Amino acid sequence: MSNSDLTPRDRFTSRFGIIAAAAGSAVGLGNIWKFPYVAGQGGGGAFLVVYVLFIAAIGLPVMLSEFSIGRRAQRNAIGSFKNLAPRTPWFLVGVMGVAAAFLILSFYSAVAGWTLEYIIKSFSDAFAGRDEEELNLMFSTFVSGTWRPLFWQLIFMVLTAWIVVAGIKQGIEKYTKVLMPLLIVMILVLCVRSITLPGGGAGLAFLFNPDFSKLTAGTLLGALGQAFFSLSLGMGTLITYGSYIQKNNNLSETVIQVSVTDTLIAILAGIAIFPAVFAFNIDPAEGPGLVFITLPNIFQQMPGGYFFSIIFFTLLLIAALTSSISILEVVVAYIVEELHLTRKRATILASVMISVLGIFCSLSLGILSDFRIFGLVIFDLMDFTASNLLLPLGGLFIVLFVGWYLGAGPARNEISNEGALRLGYFPLFMFLVRFIAPFAITLVFIYGLGLIRI
């Protein structure tokens, strides 16, 4: 008897619900906070080109693979591999995913906590009349503090856990459907304000005129990691969500819709940020503070900026929540289905462990900043290990699993809804999962980690 016979699984109830939930997972701090700052560090245009290439050649096939695995197996990230490949070590891919979920949420919740602080700052009109330097100082003083960032991070974890306990249908769909489109509108408004700032043109040139001489091995690895991070890939999030997708959903269509939405929002965030970065003389390689310094600068220079800033940071918080619940869900679905704890207990257990790890991430930007491993503070170490190592590695094994272990037959059955859909592009998909994606990931890995020099 399969698992699904024992307990009727939660399901997304509508087609839009799936897209909203998967896009809700994908669209988050990765698009608005992380993309501009890693693109800025990676030299702008050249980074963007590589990033988009990685999404097309690697991201799309990995995403379709994850959905297929989850929907076919009807289990969590680890259980899915146990179901489809019993008595093999493949389940370790899921184990790696659960580990990555711990690392990612520990720093993700810290940054999400910053958005809470910035909502409060917006309410008290704290940005008004401040120049770039003062806003920079405001940010660095806050994140290097001890209690305030920790307090917000904890609040954020409680919010995340609360939604996850509520379950899939009521929890996840409800929050995503309405607010995502509103976020897009807000970003568009910001784009207009940013582009029309005097001197903003240089920012567009920075983002859209690639200078390939700036491309380094590290940048390539960073772009790959960012592609995985932004699309929520390589960790089993979309295996888990795939298991909640109805059997008659057209998976390929969902993949395209989610990836296009996610990529467009990242690029729009870039268009909103970089013109302002150049107009205000901010360093594009500023790092994790980039949007928290640039955006307040834009807000205070636009009519109604006070309200925009409140609304924007609130929407950013919600975007972060719809992502963080999808990260926590990976761990919770695993604990519930494989270790048989109740959903509530599983959520509390996972959240407490992640919060403890999160404390170290947060403090590593302040009192623990001297503690470094491989030259990285804990915050950066978690991010690098999870985003640039575990996620691409997970993605590599996921495409290898679908391409070579599961094979064309079952993959075609799942993606075509047991033959109901015609799939003209299926050979291309198989070619990508069997050869192109594994080869590209491996190459970027060994090159990016400095194992070979070209």
In whole angstroms, what is the distance from residue 150 CA to residue 356 CA?
Answer: 10
Please classify residue 307 by burial: count the beta carbons closer than 10 Å to its beta carbon, then call 0-12 exposed, 13-18 middle and 19+ buried: exposed
Instruction: Tell me: does residue 26 bind ligand TRP (CB under 6 A).
Output: yes
229 lies in the site for ligand TRP, by CB under 6 A: yes
Residue 255 contacts residue 62 (beta carbons within 8 Å): no
Nearer to ligand TRP, 219 or 323 (CB): 323
SS3 state of residue 152? helix
Contact status: 232 vs ligand TRP (CB under 6 A)? yes
Based on the number of CB atoms within 10 Å of its own CB, is 82 exposed (0-12), middle (13-18) or buried (19 or more)?
middle
Q: Which of 78, 66, 85 is nearest to 415 (CA)?
A: 66
Give yes or no for residue 29 binding ligand TRP (CB under 6 A): yes
Stretch that binds ligand TRP, among 144-152, 226-234, 305-313, 339-347 (CB under 6 A): 226-234
Among 41, 252, 326, 364, binds ligand TRP (CB under 6 A): 326
Please say which residue, 79 or 97, places its beta carbon nearer to ligand TRP. Answer: 97
Beta carbon of residue 106, minimum distance to ligand TRP (angstroms, whole number): 12
Nearer to ligand TRP, 28 or 44 (CB): 28
Question: Which among 64-72, 167-175, 225-233, 346-354 is the span making contact with ligand TRP, rule CB under 6 A?
Answer: 225-233
CB atoms within 10 A of CB 313: 24
End-to-end CA distance of the chain: 53
Determine the residue with CB nearest ligand TRP.
Answer: 30
Binding flags for ligand TRP, 345-384, as an x/- string (CB under 6 A)? ----------------------------------------
Handedness of CA 127, 130, 136, 142 (dihedral sign): negative
Judged by CB under 6 A, does residue 385 bind ligand TRP? no
| CB contact at 8 A, 204 and 195 | yes
Question: Rule CB under 6 A: is residue 237 a binding residue for ligand TRP?
Answer: yes
C-beta closer to ligand TRP: residue 235 or 310: 235
With b meaning 16 or more CB within 10 Å and e meaning fewer, what string describes 248-285? Answer: ebbbbebbebbbebbbebbbbbbbbbbbbbbbbebebe
Could you list the residues that contact ligand TRP (CB under 6 A)? 25-26, 28-31, 104, 229-230, 232, 235, 237, 323, 326-327, 391
